[in-house]
A and B are shown apart, each in its own frame.
Chain A
Amino acid sequence: MKKHVRKISDPDRRHLLRTAAAFGALGLLPFHPATAQDIPSLKLRELYTKALDFSRKAQELEGSIVRIRGYMAPPLKADSSFFVLTKRPMAVCPFCEGEADWPDDILAIYTQRTIEVVHFTRPLWVTGELALGNHKDADTGFFSKLRLINARYERA
């Protein structure tokens, strides 16, 4: 049975956009407590099965606003609205350094605004709409299977 998950409504979007505008100069945006309370919070590893397929939870939450804890991998490029969330801190940008490997269970994050880089050791909460399916980033060529889009983030 599909679990009932509250999806973002237009008033919510407007509220979040207003909040974003208010804190737009910062990359880190606070959330309205009433909004954050209702958003499912989960660990990055809960999105994948051990065989690295989408978990049942990920499939149930597709298209929903979710809140996920993780770490910002060193970004692929400056002035981007894209970064990779890892479940444990990752010192290198594997996309930049050919010999390093991305972990298999990562999450591509597409933010509303240009990101403000957070050191890779600092945990984040990232909130956005969960998107499933293969996608190749037009700018970086980065291939992802799972993404958060229209995302915002704050330090955990």
Chain B
Amino acid sequence: MKRLLIASTALSLLGGAALAGGHVTQEKNEWYKAAQQELKAKMAVAPITSKAKNIILLIADGNGVGSNYATRLYQGQQKGGYGDENVMFKEQLPHLALVKTYNTNAQTPDSAGTGTAMHSGVKTKAGVVGVDETLNRGDCSAVASARVDSIAEILSGQGKAVGVVSTARLTHATPASAYAHAADRNFEDDSKLPEDCTTPDIASQLITAMDKGIVDLAMGGGRRHFLPKEATDEEGKNGKRTDGKNLIETARSSGVQYAWDDVSAKRLKLDGSPILALFESSHMKYEHDRTGEPSLAEMTEKAIKALSNDKDGYFLSIEAGRVDHASHDSNLHRTVTDGVAFDEVVRVAMEMTSPEDTLIIVTADHEHALAFNGYCGRGTPITGLCYGINADGEKHTGELNLANDGKPYSVATFANGIGSILSEGGQGSRPVVTQDEAVDPDYVQQALIPLDYETHSGEDVAVYARGPWAHLLNGTVEQNFIFHVMMQAAHSH
């Protein structure tokens, strides 16, 4: 036997020698061949160092590396595969970095601070919009001294058109950070302002920005913050404003086109004249529930067409705002279905632009407290319960893995939130769940720590990029660095 082992070792060494000659035993293996092809493709990637005429910043709110993993598998499984092998559109972009998302006063960030970092190039405190860290949240008197310029304001001043698109309210933290300056993200309309606050509310700031030509196109939700509380909107819902102002009428009277549903959206002229579209009283619907309003990809297509009329180019900030909301509700199904809808946005942006003149950046503002259990076999539904690994093949065994309590468990769980297995008194045990129940669109993932809303986490997010100066996004970067890459791309000679 010992002699046989020695003989095998000698053969292996011979194999190793063969590698130096350009041949390896596994070179016909499909994995090997695919990796060789990828190697050639990556070796052909050359940095683009021309000036970016257009810049598109795509943010999926709350869609960190883990959440994105869930969406990748869900999208792949919807196509009929195991899921793991799926390549999303954003994952086809050639440049990638990891992003540190903390706020200056928060290990776990919020979207106002992270949005400000990306749009203005400086980290700031949690909960504040378009101001630096010298401002303490809620202190209206400090807005003027703490104000920072956003890339939308800067590039608009240099002649570019600007668009802001979101499935959340347009006055919500992320889209607001593109155009507004507020001591508190909750100052969405005047009813929330402190009595002595002289800084206008966020909705008013958007209309002013449109009037000044800083923002040319705004599409999303949040109609209620533009209407007085006495007024009802097209869907019978009341406004929130207490100053009696109808900001939609203000915009229309100054020549801004307006749409409120999918039908009126189709009538919008995409000729470069300004557009305000408010498709819901509050946030737009989740993709799973969507009816009567355009998808984020449809809004993106309209925005690119409209903004492309500007000969100087455009800056377009797009947010998939409800990925975050679904995770706050511990409902992974809507997290991933809105995540897939966001990837459609990336596809549209890629197909409608050229990497030679358009910088596309795809990222998230922060991650959620989402974790993945093991050991699950391939093809296990990513929103469902964990099946065992099949030692004799690829696909899972079809047998549910059981935990030490004798019960099956889901692949994905949230660390905290409304799915907590603990009762109000702190006692509890895990309910037994069937696979059908777990993959139901309304299923709430199990969690440990009981909280009314599942939380963000401070984990890194990824940033994917294509186009001029996209290669600067590599390694591990601070979130505010994204702004500086966009500025370099817009101004390089």
How far is the CB of A154 from the nearest CB of chain B, in Å? Answer: 15
Among B93-101, B363-371, B416-424, the stretch that binds chain A is: B416-424
B418 contacts across to A, CB distance below 8 A: 89, 91, 120-121
| Bound: A121/B446 CA distance, A | 11
B289 contacts across to A, CB distance below 8 A: 50
| Bound: A44/B444 CA distance, A | 15
- Contact, CB under 8 Å: A119 / B442: no
With contacts A50-B289, A88-B331, A89-B419 known, what are 12 further pairs, Cβ within 8 A?
Answer: A51-B292, A87-B442, A88-B329, A88-B442, A89-B329, A89-B418, A89-B444, A91-B452, A91-B453, A101-B282, A101-B283, A122-B423
Across the interface, A50 reaches (CB within 8 A) one of B291, B331, B420, B442, namely: B291
Chain B interfacial residues counted at CB < 8 A: 19
Across the interface, A45 reaches (CB within 8 A) one of B240, B329, B331, B442, namely: B442
- Contact, CB under 8 Å: A92 / B452: yes
- Contact, CB under 8 Å: B329 / A119: no
Pairs A–B under 8 Å by Cβ, sample size 24: A43-B442, A50-B289, A50-B291, A51-B291, A51-B292, A52-B291, A87-B442, A88-B329, A89-B329, A89-B419, A89-B444, A91-B452, A91-B453, A98-B240, A99-B186, A101-B282, A101-B283, A119-B423, A119-B424, A120-B418, A121-B418, A121-B420, A121-B450, A122-B423
Interface of B is mostly: loop
B283 contacts across to A, CB distance below 8 A: 101
Interface of A is mostly: loop
A92 contacts across to B, CB distance below 8 A: 452
Interface residues of A in 46-68 (CB under 8 A from B): 50-52
A91 contacts across to B, CB distance below 8 A: 418, 452-453
Could you mark each residue 55-93 of chain A with 1 if its beta carbon is under 8 Å from any beta carbon of chain B, else 0?
Answer: 000000000000000000000000000000001110110
| Bound: A43/B442 CA distance, A | 10
Interface residues of B in 313-346 (CB under 8 A from A): 329, 331
Could you mark each residue 105-137 of chain A with 1 if its beta carbon is under 8 Å from any beta carbon of chain B, else 0?
Answer: 000000000000001111000000000000000
| Bound: A8/B282 CA distance, A | 40
